[in-house]
Chain A
């Protein structure tokens, strides 16, 4: 029997949800607001919320100083490329773990996840040396490879969870109808797991877009994505908060828009299988 929700409880829950939402969104709101202030207004005490002379000067300075489109293009290629490559590797891996598990499958999954527990800086030198050896420094191909590897455990885990929800009997029936492995994965499994795969792709694009350790340490002038664009406006000796905010707003705008339009898909995918 479903529990009835009292109006008081509903109001409290709604208020709490709004409070949490505002709390999470506030830093983004503040960044966007600061990007329209002068440097003096940006540090004003008390802080200026809405009533100040709005200016687009910071955006103009940032546009003039940096080649935004080049950074954006690199971000698109690197985030998109690493996600696609990750999905190509992770779908067969998750399929085998979900439908033909071995005695060690759980251990393998845990081991994959444990690699995420290692601080990235711990492998900075080995990875840098490999990149130097193979001429991958400051290349998009190198970044795609490293970001794919960094996010692969999460992709495999997410897909594994979604695949586990799909009854194995359906795949067996497809096999009995003569489907090979390729047909089984492409024409039976994938269509059924579309929401899960879509949300995995979205989450991975967001993770790759925001990744700031490897993208800063393995790039220079050519393959640097938007994380490097933001870093170029940060300074411990000089107040450039308004310009930094303009650069940040320009860097997060594409992923914010993508997240906004795909939020239903994302939430559906992330909660898929959470409630049985």
Chain B
């Protein structure tokens, strides 16, 4: 590859016949503002590709070749690149051409277009019409790209790491040991390169000498390109660049993302000024990091949601009792937010059971977390990595070990995976969150399709184990997890999770936050390639399953069930997952006294109390708290699931819990009145306050997602409505009608419920019915019930 150099406007003037000038400004600027005569246009936006998940910001070789060929450039053309940003984008172009093996000379126009004009150069608006070439690009073997590991080595002393950003940026954060030389420091006031002796002096002062090995970085690999060209021009021979740059580094290595250190730091503020002092000393950004230790800053400044993990949903009665007590004591709103009357339905001191078998509570203060964590430690509870970009609470079969029909008791597997990643800083800072579930029964009760990585029972050569799926998820860009056709034994699960996490760290982008969940990587690589890559990360031979054992989908555990050992488990129904801390504590007491000292949380925000011997079952069922969350609820109370919503969440567009519990109660009454309460065991209505899908609306019978609507005179809260989620058939809902005013939602639910009752075939489930009816019919049904205008599009086809 050829090393770029710098040329002056007068040089270009003299050589313009023999070189190809590449103008990297936007097409519009190139056309409208004029350009160097004969220059072709290759806009920077087209050769920078920050969207790719699996690579840096370099375009793919094919894309780059296509661009150059379209611009009529041959591999041995001598190129002078020009831009109007003092050379940054032009340098980026040259660097890209260099790593893709351009043979001809590569030069940067010193001072860019401004210098060209200043020295009397002309501009033209005549656009050349280049003949396409057959340009081919391939990453050269000696391309000076280095990865994170190489930078780590450089930090250890085998190279000089240079930060090409401003001193202010450098002061804020930088790679340890890096020296700062802002790319603009190399330019004079007019934007041209300083004289060579000045440059050498400036560089030498920072220890950057031609004989040293040098690694450059900035934030997004743009500015470093300029320095790269300048150093090449000065004759530095061993210059490399870190394409991932600081963003990648900070996310993967920084101490502020180390959960153990972070927890210790936060605890220290308990007696030293609490929230205000913490923000003062650690900066507002710290609230982002706190998620890693289970603390989400609520909408109400200075108060947090605390998420407690329960791997596989399993809590000892003692742990549950502590959680209940903590909620009762600390999850209390201050007077200014209503105190004991903060919530008109639930009062104060309550907690929320979640769809990932966690427990959340609100109004937690930084002053209180040290005490809370101390109480938690005494009983082995954790909030660490309950949130943030790490392995989240591992979801497991709520009936693990007690279900007469299970193949594998997943409890030890869940525990091993949880333990493996807890507190490990390397895995506490993945590109994005990483959600895992392990199912041991035949009914997919840990919801494999919506996980980043999921295990469901399978057999290979008579051995029990798991089939593996990867790349599922909901929210924005939902995807059903792909079957990897991979069998793993229970003992290998932990290793496989580690292999996936390693692959994710290497391939995943730390930059493209919006699209870097594992599912986007699986989609980009394709299932086959993903599996192949994964094989290279795992220390064992991959096998395919002989038989997968999932036969059905179970969406809750409500009711009284017989266990393998003849005792009973009682599935309670906690509509919307919210209950008083005191109630939770009371249930813990009952589980201890009458059951086996254990409680289980389920993925639809409910509770299961196992190990009730026949002679104690009766007294358990008679307890008033059990009666309140009784195992025989109405169909809507049984099916309702919601996220936290606007009450506390910064993102929630609509309030969810209070609204949904009222809906459920009214709809239960209605279903009694119209005589369908006995027909329908459960109607699953999931209400998510925004598109983040914390209530998993895409797997519900009726999925709802917070929105707003507006007409000429009013605006208000609304919901998007979708129907027919069915994990038994790998089906998510389709969003049928957008922006239904929120108060019209119950009417919509009634209408679709009735339409199904009237129209269904024998044995047909709700989801099957929605698939039999066309989307047009369903859209009309929803729109009419809501009194909204018929949907604007999609009415022609189903």
Do these two chains really belong together in a complex?
Answer: no
Q: Which B positions have Cβ atoms within 8 angstroms of A?
A: none
